[in-house]
Amino acid sequence: YNLNAFDIISYSEGFDLSALFEEK
């Protein structure tokens, strides 16, 4: 499996802080 575990983790929504800046 040519996947890196850290790469997989980095796709978590919890890691995506750009959502902080979105209009609610």
Partner 1 sequence: MGCCYSKKVIRTPGYKDPTILASETPFTVSEVEALYELFKKLSSAIINDGLIHKEEFQLALFRNSKRKNLFADRIFDLFDIKRNGVIEFGEFVRSLGVFHPNAPVEDKIKFAYRLYDLKQTGFIERAELKEMVLALLRESDIVLSDDVVEAIVDKTFSEADTKGDGKIDLDEFMDMVKNHPMLIKNMTLPYLKDITLAFPSFIFNAEVENIE
**Could you give the CA distance from residue 4 to residue 11 in angstroms, rounded to a whole number?**
12
DSSP structure class, residue 22: S
Q: How far is the CB of 23 from partner 1 (least distance, A)?
A: 9
Which parts of 1-24 interact with partner 1 (CB under 8 A)?
Answer: 1, 3-21, 24
E-strand ranges in 1-24 read none
Q: How far is the CB of 16 from partner 1 (least distance, A)?
A: 6
- How many binding residues for partner 1 (CB under 8 A)? 21
**First-residue to last-residue Cα distance in the chain:** 39
In the complex, the residues that contact partner 1 under the rule CB under 8 A are 1, 3-21, 24
